[in-house]
Chain A
């Protein structure tokens, strides 16, 4: 058993940022556990640019963005272990991990930051009928094959889902000489960023079909075509509208799911909406001393916001290690009327903070609304919104004064109003 003040699970953007800020807040006894053979997480395969506009005020590629944080971690001499997979976290914060050189590793931690990201939703989750032949990939797998390994997953491609990775891959595969025949999106809107729709799809004249889905995958050994159809308002396919598209590859970009399992097994309470932990303003979960941040907590749109959230988690973990936890009442924070979720879900009444960012996603496309925060029915904040979409994360920043007002109440509600 190794005693460690802070164990950070995951060396991607969330884990790196958390480590850096935990260190800067005064913690020195830190280890990052990363299952891949490099730090950086999924950023390493995101070789397109557009990262860092908020954090560094410049456009970086994924690996460049990761490198900035890796340098910070290296500079501080923070320990990390690569090719190391965490097997479990116990509710008393014993982290069990494994790698080839150390064998089993057991850390008794004072605090744990879970920053292990998300996974792509597989085909099973949407029940597409048809063949199970080769040529069906999640968009992220295809991205890795192309950008890391240098191999083409296919030549004629249909993409199901308009998540950001799918949109990015439409462009990437086009660059590599593949023909992207269509992007098919179940919803009447995209779940990706608007800038990706413009830069990755429209600029390349790739057909993007909303309110459509793939109803059948055909092919014996390899995909030979997919059948797509329009869907009705209840999202059920209208079979009369079915049409077949010849292709050798189907990419799935149908959503990201937090990798909640490690935390869940430690007894952490999970939100049915975000799929990640339920946390308070310090990013602490329902298990004392276990924190979550980044895409394992809720799926972000931009890595910049992952970094920011994780820096908060890192600093909070250091504070917790130093000061412990005082019993406290909490104000609950909920989303209603178009606001699908809000993170964090709780605010401690005694927390002395002068700023709190609430992050949220909306449940549909809404125009000309106000995003309103109400404490027990009374408005504390209102923000005009020309348009909000599910693909882009919304946030509001509460000031010290507003926070104090909220802390005297019971329930903070975020909603869209006319």
Chain B
């Protein structure tokens, strides 16, 4: 059987892994961090773009349109949160209303259906909390929201049950050709042989490409900072609210999340350091000041967390997808917005291309359906009763703010590609994502991790490499 190595466990790598796992082939995914969904996938707007933004005839436009159309079915198959909530692009200046029309026409050229130009009042009818200064809006009904990390985890789990091997803490440091096959070496000294290598390394995709290809690429890390508001602010927006690109710059969005919070952001600042996942005073200030231009009643008091993500911006401006000049080496690089939207289509496209070139056969027994962790919080009382009967741990609430039970946390740890730390539990179950931001439940989650993983309490981490406690107290020593 042929061997394929995928480098990178973000949504792109995991989508490709899942789509390739339909075929008779050995797939190994190498991820440099300790879990999937740790890079750009973890920290982005979570928008499924309608497709009016990308320039016609670009790779971005193509995959945006294809990807957007796949979400309804895919979210059901893989059981991740998705909602087609629609989007408005707001215009605040009568003199710039022409730009809205350009966006509309661009959307039509890309094949976006259901676009509509609205005046300010009509826009406020749809979204009563947007500014009185809005003079017009583009309404895109096919825009959606998705939980990006849950989508990625769903892909990864499904790929895993279909035979894809996930190896963590494997930072690729060298790729060479040996007897017509690729030898991929990781920093820990391990190496892996493959017929095909697929580079999905996000902000590091240039480094991976440049190990192999003469045609060099450059990926710039473009930082985006976000502020997330408490669910009590959820009523402020039901659609995704963009600001029209204007003299003032690209603008930031105000959008509901699939869990009912409000997300605002991102900024866009190119940074040298590809690990620069910190927020900045200026960045957060900008996010807030621009967000209230769209929705003036957003109150900083209700922000529950801030974060930043790095988009993998290719200096060429478009996605780089496909086999490189080096046979058997694929790039899937420069996947910035609308990358998340495009991910399902990119997954299918790349998998198909690889399958064709390697003449792979589809395998029998591919499991297309993945069932997520039961969500006690969103169940009816009858469903809850039934669930607790299967395991009493579903009756023990650990995270009060998000109503996450011990049963769900144990599931998250023991699933394929299970959670290994507090962050892993959080992104899989929402424990710690509520109003108190894990103030009450972190220590209880640590207890469960200690028990389920059979590790010492001191070894429990927030995220890979970040231990939470530093030792015992005097009384315990």
Query: Interface on A for B, CB 8 Å cutoff?
Result: 35, 83, 85, 87, 96, 98-104, 106, 119-120, 122-125, 127, 129-135, 138, 140-141, 144-146, 148-155, 176-177, 215-218, 220-222, 237, 239, 248, 257, 261
Write the nearest CB–CB distance from A133 to chain B, whole angstroms. Answer: 5
A104 to B470 Cα, complex, angstroms: 39
Give the residue name and chain of the B residue nearest to A83 (CB). B396
List chain A residues, Cβ under 8 A from B470: 152-155, 248
If A99-B395, A216-B281 are given as contacts, then 11 extra A-B residue pairs at C-beta distance below 8 Å, sorted by A number, are A35-B397, A130-B279, A133-B466, A140-B439, A150-B473, A151-B471, A152-B470, A152-B472, A154-B469, A218-B278, A220-B275
Q: Which of B300-322 contact A (CB under 8 A)?
A: 300-301, 303-307
B231 CB to closest chain A CB, in angstroms?
Answer: 9
| A151 near B400: Cβ-Cβ < 8 Å | no
Q: What's the nearest-Cβ distance from chain A to residue B134, in Å?
A: 26
Task: Mark contacts of B431-475 with chain A using CB atoms, 8 A cut-off: 1 yes-contact digit, 0 otherwise.
Answer: 000011111101100000000000001100111111111111111
Confirm or deny: B174 has a beta carbon within 8 angstroms of a beta carbon on chain A. no
Check A215 against B281 for contact (C-beta < 8 Å). Answer: yes
Chain B residues within an 8 Å CB radius of A149: 443, 457
Which chain A residues lie closer than 8 Å to B476 at the CB level?
A: 150-151
CB pairs A–B below 8 angstroms (26 shown): A85-B403, A98-B384, A98-B388, A100-B388, A103-B385, A103-B395, A104-B384, A122-B436, A122-B437, A122-B439, A127-B300, A129-B284, A130-B278, A131-B277, A132-B277, A133-B466, A134-B468, A141-B442, A150-B472, A151-B457, A151-B472, A151-B476, A152-B472, A217-B278, A221-B463, A257-B435
CA of A125 to CA of B437 in the docked complex: distance in angstroms? 10
CB neighbours (8 Å) of A257 from chain B are 435
- A124 contacts B228, CB within 8 Å? yes
- Is B191 close to A, CB under 8 A? no
In the bound complex, do residue A144 and residue B278 qualify as a contact, i.e. CB atoms below 8 Å apart? no
Q: Who on chain B is nearest to A217 by CB?
A: B278
A320 CA to B108 CA, complexed, in Å:
65
A173: min CB distance to chain B, Å: 10
A98:B395 contact, CB within 8 angstroms? yes
Q: Is the CB of A124 within 8 A of B381?
A: no
Bound-state CA distance A351–B284 (Å) is 51
* Chain A residue at minimal CB-CB distance from B307: A132
> Are A237 and B228 interface neighbours, CB within 8 A?
no
CB-CB under 8 A from A220, the residues of chain B are 275, 465
Which B-chain residue is minimally distant from A103 (CB atoms)?
B388
Q: Determine the chain B residues whose CB is within 8 A of the CB of A99 once the complex forms.
A: 395-396
A220, B279: Cα distance in complex, Å: 13
Q: How far is the CA of A100 from the CA of B288 in the complex (A)?
A: 43
User: How many Cβ-Cβ contacts under 8 Å join chain A to chain B?
Assistant: 154
A-contact bits for B370-405, CB 8 A (1 contact / 0 none): 000000000001001100110011011100100100
- A151: B residues at CB distance < 8 A: 457-458, 469, 471-473, 476
Which B256-313 residues sit within 8 Å CB-CB of chain A?
A: 275, 277-281, 283-284, 288, 300-301, 303-307
Q: B442: nearest residue on chain A (CB-CB)?
A: A141
Measured CA separation A345–B437 after assembly (Å): 31
Which residues in B have their C-beta under 8 angstroms from that of A103? 384-385, 388-389, 392, 395
Identify the interface centre among A100, A131, A145: most chain B CB within 10 Å of its CB: A100
Instruction: A379 to B462: give the CA distance in the assembly, Å.
Output: 57
**Cross-chain contact B303 with A100 (CB below 8 angstroms):** no
Contacts of B475 in A (CB 8 A): 150
CA distance A96 to B393 in the complex (A): 17
The answer to whether B403 and A87 have CB atoms under 8 Å apart is yes
- B227 contacts partner chain A, Cβ-Cβ < 8 Å: yes
Residue of B nearest to A242 (CB): B281
Most buried by A among B277, B384, B470: B470
Report B304 CB to chain A, min CB distance, Å.
4
Q: Is A100 a contact of B393 with CB atoms below 8 Å?
A: yes
Interface residues, chain B, with chain A CB atoms under 8 Å away: 227-228, 275, 277-281, 283-284, 288, 300-301, 303-307, 381, 384-385, 388-389, 392-393, 395-397, 400, 403, 435-440, 442-443, 457-458, 461-476
Q: Contact between B443 and A145 (Cβ–Cβ < 8 Å)?
A: yes
Known: A141-B439, A149-B457. Contact between A221 and B465, CB under 8 A? Answer: yes
Select which of A127, A138, A152, A237 is within 8 A of B471 by beta carbon: A152
Closest Cβ of chain A to B473, distance in Å, is: 5
Q: Which residues of B contact A135 (CB under 8 A)?
A: 466, 468
Q: Which residue of B lies closest to A118 (CB)?
A: B436
- Enumerate chain B residues within 8 angstroms of A215, measured Cβ to Cβ: 281
- Bound-state CA distance A86–B469 (Å) is 30
Q: Which residues of A contact B458 (CB under 8 A)?
A: 151
Known: A122-B304, A134-B461. A104 touches B388 (CB 8 A): yes
Q: How far is the CA of A218 from the CA of B395 in the complex (A)?
A: 39
Q: Which residue of A lies closest to B447 (CB)?
A: A149
- Is B469 within 8 A of A145, CB to CB? yes
- Residues of B contacting A85 with CB < 8 Å? 396-397, 400, 403
The interface residues of chain B lying within 8 Å CB-to-CB of A217 are: 278
Q: How far is the CB of A350 from chain B (nearest CB, A)?
A: 35
Pairwise interchain contact B306-A119, C-beta atoms closer than 8 A: no
CB distance from B115 to the nearest CB of A (A): 35
- The reply to whether B300 and A152 form a contact with Cβ atoms under 8 Å apart is no
Counting chain B CB atoms within 10 Å of each CB, the highest count among A120, A130, A149, A176 belongs to: A149
Cβ–Cβ < 8 Å partners of B436 in chain A: 119-120, 122, 138
Contact B474–A101 (Cβ < 8 Å): no
Who on chain B is nearest to A120 by CB?
Answer: B439
Contact between chains at A134 and B462 (CB < 8 Å): yes
Give the distance in Å from the alpha carbon of A177 to the alpha carbon of B437 in the complex: 28
B393 with A222: CB separation less than 8 A: no
- Asked if A144 meets B443 with Cβ closer than 8 Å, knowing A131-B277, A216-B281, the reply is yes
Cα of A141 to Cα of B283 in the assembled complex, Å: 29
Are B384 and A127 neighbours in the complex by a CB distance under 8 Å? Answer: no
Q: Which B residues are in CB contact (< 8 Å) with A96?
A: 381
CB distance from A148 to the nearest CB of B (A): 8
Chain B residues lying within 8 Å of A148, measured Cβ to Cβ, are 443
| Distance, CA A412 to CA B393, complexed state (A) | 51
**Cross-chain contact of A125 among B275, B301, B472 (Cβ < 8 A):** B301
Determine if B473 and A146 form an interchain contact, defined as CB atoms under 8 angstroms apart.
Answer: yes
Would you call B467 and A134 a contact (CB within 8 A)?
yes
Alpha-carbon separation in the docked complex, A145 to B458 (Å): 11
B437: which of A104, A124, A140, A237 is its contact (CB, 8 Å)? A124
Q: Could you say which residues of chain A place their CB within 8 Å of the CB of B468? A: 134-135, 153
